[in-house]
């Protein structure tokens, strides 16, 4: 088992060129040496490498869960699995030994591994003060929790590994609820470390406004709010929101982002395709435009093509147009999601007037009239999920949302014999 786990991490290393601070082989004397008594510069390089590594194979992740969640279609002449296996065409099923699960899985664990190295290195360093040490520890715990959550989003009831500190002897795959509890605790530990910490390390512009300890703590609490609603811990979600950058009347776009660039050694946004592309195409599921409220400005996320794109018996006439250049940022978490988390927690705690205020903030912010539907928990959950669908389109949420509300059967089946999957399998070698 341990050899297979190492092989997956090594595979992730081969997916993209190493950036500054990324240890090219995480099972070498180089990784061991840097943990003994690293300097501030060496610690900072580890932070830079971890932030950079979070971007690897994001395109595969968003495509895979976006296709199953009927947010998008992905057409590619050389890769039929986007419109066969991921949509359950005919007798096809999800493969536990192919790119759409093995690559994201390995990339996320690669960052977790780098985070564990950073934890050990910061703990052992004699070149930093206790508050500075806590800054590194808090950052590492926060991003490790985030990376583990992305893998759990894919495998869900099939679970994930949490204990991977011993790289050669990783812990067992644990069930979903145990994994969520562990991720939540990791964020709590990160909060404890960041409280009163001092930040020495540089972060990219994707963390603008959140680069100090107070800002990273707000980032940590925003992720904690997301995890809390996944755990149906509604009061905890509201508490975490109050400690985050949540702002009911603030900009929807305020948040933390993955940044991309076209300079030497940089990565381009993998979720970008030019409008009206042919060959490699990413288009909105037809139901996105069919179901949207007339006048809703979120239709701009799915712009009309000059001609429809078709493949495998599927057709769409709208491009996915969220990331409008090859250097456009991808959100990790932003205020619009936090407003919707607030609405969800208020609905679930029967604070309906507060929930409606939040939902109307989203509606009117997108040129939609205020809510006039029934004021019941069931109706407001429907409305909240609808607003999440359009506000968070192709940001990796719809499939998770309908799954956690047991509504996978509401997703459209576009061809006879198609299926809606509930979870990705654990990669094949992880089960050996």
Q: How confident is the model over 15-49, as pLDDT tens digits?
A: 343 444 555 554 444 667 789 999 999 999 999 99
CB atoms within 10 A of CB 77: 10
CA gap 79, 357 in Å, rounded: 45
Task: Kindly give, in sequence order, each residue whose CB lies less than 8 Å from that of residue 131, ignoring residues fewer than 6 positions away.
Answer: 196, 197, 198
pLDDT value, residue 12: 41
pLDDT value, residue 218: 98
DSSP-assigned states of every residue in 300-353: GGEEEEEEEEEETTEEEEEEE-SS-STT--EEEEEHHHHHHHHHHHHHHTT-HH
Structure tokens, 390: 């359009």
Kindly give the parts of the chain with pLDDT less than 50.
Answer: 1-20, 26-29
DSSP letter, residue 200: -
What angle separates helix 335-348 from helix 234-242, to the nearest 10 degrees? 140
**By three-state DSSP, how is residue 355 classified?**
helix
Per-domain residue ranges for the chain?
Answer: 281-320
Structure tokens, 146: 């985030």
Mean pLDDT taken over the chain: 93
The distance of Cα 24 from the centroid of its chain, to the nearest Å, equals 24
CA gap 81, 76 in Å, rounded: 9
pLDDT value, residue 22: 54
The residue written with tokens 């109050």 in the block is 242
pLDDT value, residue 3: 45
């Amino acid at each position: 088992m341990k050899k297979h786990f190492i092989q997956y991490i090594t595979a992730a290393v081969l997916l993209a060129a190493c950036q500054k601070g990324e240890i090219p082989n995480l099972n070498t004397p180089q990784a061991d040496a840097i943990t003994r008594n690293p300097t501030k510069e060496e610690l900072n390089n580890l932070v830079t490498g971890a932030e950079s590594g979070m971007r690897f194979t994001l395109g595969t992740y968003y495509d895979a869960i976006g296709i199953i969640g009927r947010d998008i279609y992905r057409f590619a002449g050389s890769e039929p699995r986007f419109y066969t296996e991921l949509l359950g065409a005919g007798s096809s099923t999800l493969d536990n030994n192919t790119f759409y699960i093995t690559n994201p899985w390995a990339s996320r664990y690669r960052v977790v591994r780098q985070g564990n190295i950073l934890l050990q290195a910061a703990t052992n360093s004699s070149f930093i003060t206790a508050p500075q040490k806590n800054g590194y520890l808090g950052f590492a715990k926060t991003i490790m929790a985030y990376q583990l959550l992305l893998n759990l989003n894919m495998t869900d009831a099939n679970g994930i590994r949490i204990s991977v500190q011993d790289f050669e002897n990783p812990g067992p795959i644990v069930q979903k609820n145990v994994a969520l509890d562990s991720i939540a605790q990791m964020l709590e530990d990160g909060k404890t470390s960041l409280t009163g910490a001092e930040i020495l390390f540089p972060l990219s512009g994707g963390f603008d406004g959140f680069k100090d300890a107070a800002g990273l703590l707000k980032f940590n609490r925003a992720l904690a709010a997301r995890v809390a609603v996944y755990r149906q811990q509604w009061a905890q979600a509201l508490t975490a929101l109050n400690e985050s950058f949540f702002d009911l009347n603030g900009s929807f776009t305020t948040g933390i982002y993955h940044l991309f660039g076209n300079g030497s050694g940089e990565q381009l946004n993998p979720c970008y395709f030019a409008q009206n592309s042919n060959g490699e195409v990413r288009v909105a599921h037809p139901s996105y435009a069919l179901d949207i409220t007339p006048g809703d400005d979120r239709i701009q996320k799915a712009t009309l093509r000059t001609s429809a794109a078709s493949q495998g018996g599927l057709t769409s006439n709208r491009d996915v147009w969220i990331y409008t250049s090859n250097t456009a940022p991808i959100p990790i978490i932003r205020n619009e999601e936090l407003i919707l988390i607030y609405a969800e927690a208020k609905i679930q705690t029967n604070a309906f007037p507060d929930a409606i205020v939040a939902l109307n903030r989203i509606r009117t912010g997108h040129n939609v009239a205020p809510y006039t539907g029934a004021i019941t928990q069931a109706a407001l959950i429907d409305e909240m999920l609808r607003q999440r669908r359009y506000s968070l389109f192709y940001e990796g949420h719809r499939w998770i949302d309908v799954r956690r509300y047991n509504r996978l059967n509401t997703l459209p089946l576009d061809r006879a014999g198609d299926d809606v999957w509930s979870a990705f399998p654990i990669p094949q070698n992880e089960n050996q």
